[in-house]
Structure formats: C-alpha cells, structure tokens
C-alpha cells in the first residue's frame, strides 16, 4: 500500500487529492492535511467584497467531501518535512500541528511515500507596515476578508448617500505583489456599485499598481486580438479603467499604510502619499513557512526552498539576465530536484523568475509584479502532479508521462465588472501560453490567434456559470472529473 500526503486544500491541493483518490486503487491512502475546515472558490470573493454574495455562497465544508471520497482528512498545519526520515522514522514524514479546539497543540508525524506540497501562499501583510484587514486596509484574498471589506465599503457608500465625498484606493500593497487581476476586478465592481447608486460625482476611484504598464497583470503584459486589431493589454486595460471613471497610478511600490493614507515610491525614485477613505490593497505573497530537515536533524530549508519560502522544483533557477530568460526555464512536472518523491503544486512552487521585466528604482527598490499562479494554472498543475504520482505507484516507474508547464498552458481570465443577468458585464481574456515564449512566437511572445480579449454581458454570464460549475466540481459531485480545470 502506498501513502500519499497532500499539504493544503486550496485549488491545487484539493484537485490533486481528488484525482489521486480517483486514479488509485482503494488500498492506497490519500491523506489531506490542511488547517482550513472550508474550501473556498477564491475568484468569487470579489462578489462577497461588494455585498453581492454571502460567504456561504463561495465556500463549503471539506470534511463531508473527503469522508465521501475516502480521503483521510486531518485539520492541521504542516510544520516541517523530513524527506529522509529520522532516527525515529525510517520513512519520510511530515510533522503537523492540529488546529481544532479539541486537538489544539497536539503534534503528529505523518509518514508518506509521496508528498504534494500545495500549501499555497502566506498573505504577507507584515511586509508592508499598516497593511491588512486588521489594520488600515482591506483585502479580498479570503472570504472572511472580503466579508469584512464589504462592511467597510458599505459604510463609505452610506456616507456618499448623505452627500459626503469618498476616495477609494484599490490595487497592490507591496512593490512585488501579484494578483493584480483580482484587485482590478474589485475596482471595477466598486465602480459599478457606485454608478448603480448614481453617486459617481461623489467618488474618486484610484487604481495603484506596481506594474510598469497597465495590463501587465504579472504576465509581462500581452498583445490581444480584438475586433480584427492587435492591441496591447496596456491600451485594453486603460480603456476599461477610463470607461469606469477610474484614474491610475502605475510603477508604484506601496511601502507603508496609515489610517486614511498610503505611502508609495515610484520607479523614478520619488516618494508620494495618497489619502483614502477606503482601501483594498493586495499583499505580497510568501511561502507558508514550512521547514525541511535531513535525517540528522539538520535544517536544509535553504536547499529545498527558495528565498521566498516556496519549494524548488524542476525549473532552471540559474541567475541570468532578463534577456536570457526562456520559456524552458519553467517547470513541467513540479518535482523536487533533491527528493524525487516530493512535489509542489500551485502557488507552493518557486518560479524560476518573474514573467514581467525586473525593475528597480534609483533607491534600490524592486518594483514589479511577481508571477500569478492562481486559478486555472493551479488546478492544471494539481491534476498533473496527481496523474504522475498515480502512474508511478501503479507502474513502479519513475518517469513522468504527464506535463503541465505554464510555458505550454493556456489560461482564461474573466474579470467581472458588475453583477446581474442584464446589467453585469465582464472583460474576458485568454492567453496562450501563460509564460511568454519569444522563441516560438518572436513577434508577440504568444500565439496571437489564441490570445484574445472581449468585453460584454456574455463574459459575465460565463463567470457566473463558472462559479457554480467549479464549486460543483470541487464538491466532487457526479461527473466532476469531466469538468476541465
């Protein structure tokens, strides 16, 4: 019997666990270890953040799903991995700490034959003093954050109803933050709600981002085919922001937040501040804080993980100038180069470099987006990892017939701009591949025939449909595996 341990029940880890159980015979064990009791469909947190969905509409309890599928579920946090075992355990193991009230403080060593690290990111609010829902800004990175953001946004809307002007600052809250797409979507939804109430004359909505140009989205921007024209995403994005009355500050690294005020440095080295009544700023991401130890108990975290705490995999981490970056630098099987039974999926893997060109101010501050790996890419990676582990268990072979490089994957992104069957609309964009490949596509970096952008009501219907479809899939209901990642 083989035992596969999955750390983290986010999109990638949950997907991996479900496919592992589906692909493996009953005698093999799949163990999910996650501190969270709920699964959340993160893309819909935006709608929670503007009061259009309740948190219960974007989450569900994990335990019943895992019990029904025969997956062992331990509500606990991974503390450290021991890929060589120890003097006590001959087999590799993970040390975990339970987080439930009845098990609080109890630790356990869980042995494994294969390990999937899908711990996702730690929301690194502390990297920007004053940032976060417990301090002076809001977040939509989790359903409870988004619910809290709606309560604060509601207060601003109430003040506007009484004739009081409000300034909304939406964007990235760190010079190296990612997830620009989520912040962009939230800005559009706030604009939609303000317009619905006919309060535009009392609102100043500001988009603040570490992108060099609008529409970078951590992917180095793109060229999209729209209406027979080839348009850079900088123009596509600027036109949408302008349509919604949103002004922007780009090339900005927020370095401190106080009550009603954000401080930022521009790429030219100048320092500025922006007052606000309501702010939603995405934090930087870091690894989940896992440590790694060898059989002698020596800390090997610096070997197994990159400096940001994310796990090294089959990528080319050789330092090289931007001009020498290649699509082939990116991983395809997400296997640790040091321990062949260990994999990292979703945001837990360390990218070899960003997709956006690194930029640095005269003061030495790096200001550019780090790579996004959420949503569709995370699901695909989780499935690929599961397929390869199942193949290895069933055949005893060590090769990997399944691959999922982000330099070969396509991705679709739907940015909602309002809500409702007749009034909502969305910007729908597809890119192929996700990581620019200038060797295969020397003119645009991507397949221009498969990289398109459209704005309209149909995109909004599609996003609503995807909300229900992916929650259905995540609940592992009948036919779930037929729904693509």
> CA-CA distances (angstroms) from residue 392 to 189, 211, 396?
46, 42, 5
According to DSSP, the β-strands at 203-208 and 223-226 are unpaired
- Domain assignment present for 119: yes
DSSP string, 265-322: EETTS-EEEEE-SEEEEEPEEE----EEB-TT--B-HHHHB-TTSPBP-SS------G
User: What is the C-alpha separation between 432 and 406, in angstroms, rounded?
Assistant: 9
**Lowest mean pLDDT: which of 33-37, 169-173, 225-229?**
225-229
130-152 pLDDT, tens digit per residue, is 999 999 999 999 999 999 999 99
89-130 pLDDT, tens digit per residue, is 899 999 999 999 888 889 999 999 999 999 999 999 999 999
For residue 459, what pLDDT band results from cuts at 50, 70 and 90? low
The number of C-alpha atoms within 13 Å of 304 and in the hemisphere containing its C-beta is 24
pLDDT of 428 reads 76
- Domain assignment present for 242: no
- Domain assignment present for 336: yes
User: What is the C-alpha separation between 194 and 281, in angstroms, rounded?
Assistant: 19
**Lowest mean pLDDT: which of 6-15, 214-223, 394-403?**
214-223
Domain coverage including residue 16: 3-123+286-395
Helix boundaries (H) for 286-418: 301-304, 376-395
Instruction: Of 137, 244, 248, 154, give the one whose Cα is nearest residue 191.
Output: 244
Domain count, the chain: 1
For residue 413, what pLDDT band results from cuts at 50, 70 and 90? confident
pLDDT of 171 reads 98
pLDDT of 419 reads 66
Q: What percent of the chain has pLDDT over 90?
A: 85
- Domain assignment present for 153: no
pLDDT of 466 reads 87
Task: Decide if pLDDT at 60 tops 70.
Answer: yes
Task: Decide if pLDDT at 242 tops 90.
Answer: yes
For residue 278, what pLDDT band results from cuts at 50, 70 and 90? very high
Mean pLDDT of 461-471: 87
**Lowest mean pLDDT: which of 36-40, 302-306, 370-374, 436-440?**
370-374
For residue 421, what pLDDT band results from cuts at 50, 70 and 90? low
Given a contact cutoff of 8 angstroms between Cβ atoms, the answer to whether 92 and 340 are in contact is no
User: What is the C-alpha separation between 463 and 412, in angstroms, rounded?
Assistant: 11
Q: Sign (positive/negative) of CA torsion 359, 365, 369, 370?
A: positive
According to DSSP, the β-strands at 72-82 and 291-292 are parallel
pLDDT of 458 reads 63
Task: Decide if pLDDT at 390 tops 80.
Answer: yes
Q: Partners of 415 in the beta sheet?
A: 427
- Domain assignment present for 93: yes
Q: Partners of 248 in the beta sheet?
A: 207
Mean pLDDT of 284-291: 94
- Domain assignment present for 291: yes
305-323 pLDDT, tens digit per residue, is 999 999 999 999 999 999 9
- Domain assignment present for 171: no
pLDDT of 424 reads 65
Given a contact cutoff of 8 angstroms between Cβ atoms, the answer to whether 282 and 138 are in contact is no
Task: Decide if pLDDT at 420 tops 80.
Answer: no
- Domain assignment present for 435: no
Mean pLDDT of 469-480: 96
pLDDT of 359 reads 97
pLDDT of 452 reads 77
CATH number of the domain encompassing residue 380: 3.50.50.100
User: What is the C-alpha separation between 132 and 138, in angstroms, rounded?
Assistant: 6
Mean pLDDT of the chain: 94
For residue 80, what pLDDT band results from cuts at 50, 70 and 90? very high
192-239 pLDDT, tens digit per residue, is 999 999 999 999 999 999 999 999 999 999 898 877 789 899 998 999
Residue where the block lists tokens 């990997």: 400
């Amino acid at each position: 019997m083989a035992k596969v341990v999955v750390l983290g029940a986010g999109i990638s880890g949950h997907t991996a666990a479900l496919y592992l159980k589906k692909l493996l015979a009953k005698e093999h064990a799949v163990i999910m270890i996650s501190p969270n009791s709920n699964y959340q469909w993160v893309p819909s947190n935006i709608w929670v953040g503007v009061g259009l969905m309740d948190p219960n509409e974007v989450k569900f309890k994990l335990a019943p799903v895992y019990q029904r599928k025969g997956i062992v579920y331990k509500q606990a946090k991974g503390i450290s991995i021991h890929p060589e075992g120890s003097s006590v355990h001959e087999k590799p193991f993970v040390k975990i700490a339970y987080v439930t009230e009845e098990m609080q403080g109890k630790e356990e060593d869980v042995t494994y034959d294969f390990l999937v690290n899908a711990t996702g990111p730690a929301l690194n609010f502390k990297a920007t003093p004053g940032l976060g829902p417990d301090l002076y800004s809001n977040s939509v990175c989790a359903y409870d954050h988004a619910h809290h953001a709606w309560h604060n946004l509601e207060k601003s809307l109430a003040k506007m109803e009484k004739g009081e002007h409000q300034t909304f600052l939406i964007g990235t809250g760190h010079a190296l933050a990612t997830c620009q797409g989520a912040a962009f979507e939230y800005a559009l939804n706030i604009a939609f709600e303000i317009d619905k109430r006919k309060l535009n004359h009392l609102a100043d909505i500001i988009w603040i981002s570490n992108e060099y140009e609008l529409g970078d989205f951590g992917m180095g921007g793109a060229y999209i085919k729209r209406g027979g024209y080839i348009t850079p995403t900088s123009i596509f994005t600027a036109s949408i922001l302008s349509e919604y009355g949103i002004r922007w500050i780009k090339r900005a690294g927020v370095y401190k937040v106080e009550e009603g005020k954000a401080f930022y440095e521009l790429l030219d080295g100048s320092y500025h501040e922006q007052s606000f009544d309501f702010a939603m700023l995405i934090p930087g991401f870091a690894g989940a804080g896992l440590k790694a130890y060898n059989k002698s108990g020596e800390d090997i975290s610096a070997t197994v993980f990159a400096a940001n705490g994310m796990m090294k995999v089959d990528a080319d981490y050789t330092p090289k100038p931007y001009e020498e970056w290649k699509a082939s630098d990116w991983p395809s099987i997400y296997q640790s180069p040091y321990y062949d039974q260990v994999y990292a999926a979703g945001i837990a893997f360390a990218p070899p470099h960003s997709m956006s060109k690194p930029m640095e101010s005269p003061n030495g501050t790096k200001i550019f987006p780090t790579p996004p790996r959420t949503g569709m890419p995370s699901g695909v990676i989780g499935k690929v990892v599961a397929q390869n582990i199942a193949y290895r268990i069933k055949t005893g072979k060590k090769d990997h017939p399944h691959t999922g490089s982000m330099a070969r994957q396509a991705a679709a992104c739907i940015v909602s701009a309002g809500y409702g069957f007749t009034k909502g609309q969305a910007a729908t964009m597809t890119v192929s591949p996700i990581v620019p490949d200038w060797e295969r596509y020397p003119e645009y970096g991507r397949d221009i025939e498969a990289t398109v952008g459209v704005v309209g009501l149909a995109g909004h219907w599609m996003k609503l449909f995807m909300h229900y479809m992916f929650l259905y899939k995540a609940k592992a209901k009948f036919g779930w595996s037929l729904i693509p990642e």
